[in-house]
């Protein structure tokens, strides 16, 4: 029997948990079931989904593949494999798994929605829309489908349809945080702060632990001229999601503006791990190193600014002259100290 992932299930006949649901058991419990029955592919599938939600992606993929090897006839296992590949950024492998299930006749909304998502990532919009609409026929109240359609229309510069789909997403599920985040971001962008605030406050009331909504509230408050309040929301966003690099970047700028350079440095460094060619980030990091007296590190970052050949090159060149003078002074001082030690 096909798994219906968009229908919540709570009971079982024999005590084992049901997968493809929003009420998965905890990891310790599923480990007990697997120890008792290590050949039940369904249990590995459940654990894969738990591990995926926990960010343990390689382990999730391993369990998904184990479930598929034990129960290849259960086509939903291909979907779980695809979800793990997608989370790991392995889009071709995810597509292959989804299409294998689809070509075998698996007409499941979760698989169709995932296909729509994957084709959206690689910007094959016609195929993406086709699969999302097919998913919508089988699961007309699923908010994520409307959300993905909104992203698709946004990327195709159809703002009205994008907004309409994001609005429908939160109407289907008033707790769907991603919809509020997209809508609030749009209205912040056009400086309609009243509407943006309405979406932000509604979203945070319904989803108080949504990292991106906290980030958007930080953006909103900074636009409105309340940087201290923005800092609070950026910090909360990072606490909820340490991979939310946009929040770290923006918090870094606010720390820099407050001359809290030692606090700004790790935020800039982390942000540059995913945005290494951001000349503004590199330049502010270089300046921060100057202000804390780490001239050798400052020189490295300022040289990167010059290599990037962006707007801060003239400023970086001036700063490099200053930094190299300081490094020369430090080198001279070190030589004098060494000379004194030798004499003594």
**Structural tokens at position 38:** 């290590």
- Under-70 pLDDT residues of the chain: 1-25, 335-344
Residue 337, domain member (yes or no): yes
Q: Which of 51, 84, 106 is the last residue of a domain?
A: 106
| 142 belongs to a structural domain | no
98 and 180 within one domain: no
pLDDT at 331: 83
Q: Is residue 314 part of a domain?
A: yes
Residue 155 lies in a domain: no
Can you give the pLDDT at residue 338? 67
Domain end, chosen from 224, 255, 286, is at 255
Tell me which of 106, 131, 150 is where a domain ends.
106
Residue 165 within any structural domain of the chain: no
Asked if residue 112 belongs to a domain, the reply is no
Instruction: Note whether residue 91 is domain-resident.
Output: yes
Domain that holds residue 285: 276-344
Same domain for 244 and 311?
Answer: no
Q: What is the pTM of this model?
A: 0.80
Which CATH number covers residue 200? Answer: 1.25.40.10
Helix, coil or strand: residue 41: helix
Report if residue 182 sits inside a domain.
yes
Q: Residue 315 corresponds to which tokens in the numbers above?
A: 């400023």
Same domain, 300 and 245: no
pLDDT of the residue at 191: 92
Domain count of the fold of the chain: 3
Q: Tell whether 183 and 229 lie within a shared domain.
A: yes
Alpha carbon distance 114, 122 (integer Å):
13
Q: Is 239 helix (H, G, I), strand (E, B) or coil?
A: helix
CB 115, CB 145: distance < 8 Å: no
Task: Provide the CB-side half-sphere exposure for 169 (13 A, CA).
Answer: 25
C-alpha 51/C-alpha 31 separation (Å) is: 12
Do 3 and 71 have their domain in common?
A: yes
């Amino acid at each position: 029997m096909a798994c219906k992932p968009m229908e919540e299930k709570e009971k079982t006949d024999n005590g084992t948990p049901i997968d493809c649901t929003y009420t998965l058991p905890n990891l310790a419990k599923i480990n007990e079931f697997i120890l008792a029955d290590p050949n039940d592919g369904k249990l590995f599938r459940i654990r894969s989904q738990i591990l995926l939600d926990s960010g343990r992606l390689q382990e999730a993929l391993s369990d998904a593949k184990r479930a598929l090897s034990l129960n290849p006839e259960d086509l939903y296992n291909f979907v779980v494999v695809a979800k793990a590949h997608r989370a790991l950024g392995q889009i071709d492998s995810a597509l292959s798994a989804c299409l294998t299930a689809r070509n075998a006749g698996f007409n499941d909304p979760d698989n169709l929605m995932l296909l729509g998502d994957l084709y959206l990532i690689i910007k094959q919009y016609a195929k993406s829309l086709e699969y999302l609409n097919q998913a919508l026929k089988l699961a007309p109240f699923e908010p994520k489908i409307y959300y993905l359609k909104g992203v698709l229309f946004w990327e195709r510069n159809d703002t009205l349809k994008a907004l309409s789909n994001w609005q429908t997403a939160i109407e289907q599920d008033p707790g769907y945080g991603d919809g509020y985040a997209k809508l609030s971001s749009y209205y912040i962008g056009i400086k309609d702060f009243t509407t943006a605030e309405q979406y932000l406050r509604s979203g945070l009331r319904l989803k108080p632990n949504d990292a991106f909504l906290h980030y958007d509230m930080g953006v909103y408050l900074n636009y409105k001229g309340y940087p201290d309040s923005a800092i609070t929301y950026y910090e909360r966003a990072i606490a909820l999601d340490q991979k939310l690099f946009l929040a770290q970047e923006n918090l870094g700028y606010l720390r820099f503006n407050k001359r809290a350079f030692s606090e700004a440095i790790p935020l800039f460094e982390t942000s540059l791990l995913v945005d290494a060619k951001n000349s503004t980030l590199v330049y502010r990091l270089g300046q921060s190193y100057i202000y804390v007296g780490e001239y050798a590190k400052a020189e490295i970052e300022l040289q990167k600014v010059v290599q990037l050949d962006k707007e801060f090159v003239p400023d970086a060149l001036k700063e490099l002259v200053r930094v190299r003078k300081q490094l020369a002074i430090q080198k001279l001082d070190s030589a004098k100290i060494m000379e004194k030690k030798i004499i003594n």
